[in-house]
Each structure stands twice: as C-alpha cells, then as structure tokens.
Amino acid sequence: MLKINELLKKGTRLTFICLLAIGFKVNAQQHPFKALIVASRASDHLKMIAAAKPFFEDLGQKNSFDVDFTDDTSKINDANLANYQVFVMLQLAPFDMSYSQQAALQKFAEQGKGWVGIHAAGLTGKEFLAKSTIYWQWFEGFMGGVLYSPHPAFQKAKVVVEDHKHPATMHLPATFEISDEWYEWDKSPRSNVRVLASVNESTYKQNKPMGDHPVIWTNESFRRMIYISIGHSPEDFTNQNYVTLLRDAIVWAASK
C-alpha cells in the first residue's frame, strides 16, 4: 500500500477519495468503544431478548464496537462499568436493580457516559414496587419526569421523526411504521426533554390518549442519554429503520 505522503503527491480526485476511506478506517480502529448490554429476565420479553443477543453482537462487529451481553445485573457496579462507554438497558426495568446497582448506574450517567434505554427500561413509578421498596426518584427525573401508565394492545402505528438534526435520528425517514405496545405516560415529557420522535395516535387504538406522545427522546441535562420506548418484538430487528435507530443511538451515546 502506498504511503499517505506518496498518495498526496498524486493529487487526483480518486486519490483523495482513497485517503478519505483510509482515514475513516483508521479513525474507527483508533476510537473503538465497548458497550455493556444488560437484559431483563422478565418472561414477557424473553423472545425479544433471545433475538437481541446475536443482533447486537453482529451490530457491534459491523460498526467497530465491542459488545458484552448479559442478563446478570451484578455486572452493574462501579469497577465493571468503568470498562464501558455505553450502557444499554434492554428491557431491564429500574426496579430490577438493587440499590447499589442503581447507584452505580446513576454515577455512570452523571459522569457523562452513554445510556440507551429500550422499552421496559422506562418503567417509572411505584406501580410494580413492594411497599417497603425505596423508590428511585432520580430515575424518574432522568426519564423526563414522567410516570408509566398501562399500555394498549400490541399493534402497528406510524412513528413521526421530529428531529433530523440529532445524530440518533438523522438517518431515519420522516415517518415509518412499526408494531409495539406504545407505552403511555401520565403526561408528555416534552417540556423536560428533547423529543426526537413521537407516535401518531390516529394510526392505532390507544389505552388513554396522550395527544402529544413522544416515543424517542434525550434528556439534555445528561451528556449522552437516549430513551427508545419502541422495542417489544423480536421482529423489530428485521425493521431496517429500527436497526438504523439502534446503531446510531449507540454510536452517538459513545461519542466524545
């Protein structure tokens, strides 16, 4: 292979394109990152999680990042999290973690590390907690100050991408269809977060209409946080728009 200085002397457009390609490859190799994906053991998401492991491992391989996939929440501790730039909370509800694990994840996010929450990761509120359980109030604020409400039946609907300037959604079309449970909240988080996409409620039957119904958002009080409420079905991994969303969300969450 010619040295870069020799290529520069060539001065052709083709050489410039080759240099760009080499530069991008070197850049990817010099700035790899590691993502820890911690999945839930909840029975209603086991099919999705079974499909997720090979999917995320392949996604990492194709996009130059390393993936450690586990359902062992003991991996959520300060010493282990120090090895990662991104934490993907896959169907893992906040109440599925011990107090020490919650504290470790909170510290991770407050340090500016990346967090990608998928679907059941956003189950805020006290609905599922035993009376003696201490509620993780910080996480509710992290999610934009919203409380989860019972969701409607699994059904297809249209997602409206509102923000194409954000790296996580810039490669998505204006709208796309996908099936989900369409989690509902006590109110829209819009006043506290940056909404990237919402669901068009006229395209499916709601449990309790929200009117303004965000489904993907970031809390910009934290450097690299993104929540994606879509993600119930293993078939999502065959939806190219969803694949693009997950790829770009994880890469953005890891970015410096």
- Whether residues 88 and 11 share a domain: the answer is no
- The answer to whether 218 and 166 have CB atoms below 8 angstroms apart is yes
pLDDT by residue (tens digit) across 159-170?
A: 999 999 999 999
On average, the pLDDT of the chain sits at 90
pLDDT for 32: 86
Pairing of strands 184-185, 194-200: unpaired
pLDDT for 256: 83
Q: 114 forms bridges with which residues in the sheet?
A: 86, 224
- Whether residues 1 and 59 share a domain: the answer is no
- Whether residues 56 and 133 share a domain: the answer is yes
- Whether residues 138 and 159 share a domain: the answer is yes
Q: Is 83 helix (H, G, I), strand (E, B) or coil?
A: coil
Nearest-10 crossing angle of helices 46-62, 240-254? 60
Asked if residue 152 has pLDDT above 90, the reply is yes
- Whether residues 10 and 97 share a domain: the answer is no
Asked if residue 3 has pLDDT above 50, the reply is no
Asked if residue 29 has pLDDT above 60, the reply is no
| Enclosing domain of residue 22 | 1-30
Asked if residue 129 has pLDDT above 60, the reply is yes
Listed residue (72, 79, 64) closest to 33, CA to CA = 64
Asked if residue 9 has pLDDT above 50, the reply is no
Torsion of CA 8, 64, 85, 98, to 10 degrees: 180
Q: How many CB atoms lie within 10 A of CB 66?
A: 15
d(CA 249, CA 116): 7
- Whether residues 105 and 228 share a domain: the answer is yes
Helices and strands per DSSP (H, E), number in the chain: 7, 11
Asked if residue 211 has pLDDT above 80, the reply is yes
Distance of alpha carbon 209 from its chain centroid, rounded? 25
Asked if residue 10 has pLDDT above 70, the reply is no
What token pair was written down for 118? 């998928």
Listed residue (221, 225, 222, 223) closest to 196, CA to CA = 225
- Whether residues 140 and 75 share a domain: the answer is yes
Give the predicted TM-score (pTM) of the model.
0.88
Q: How many CB atoms lie within 10 A of CB 250?
A: 26
Give the pLDDT band of residue 31 (cuts 50, 70, 90): low
CATH of the domain at 134: 3.40.50.880
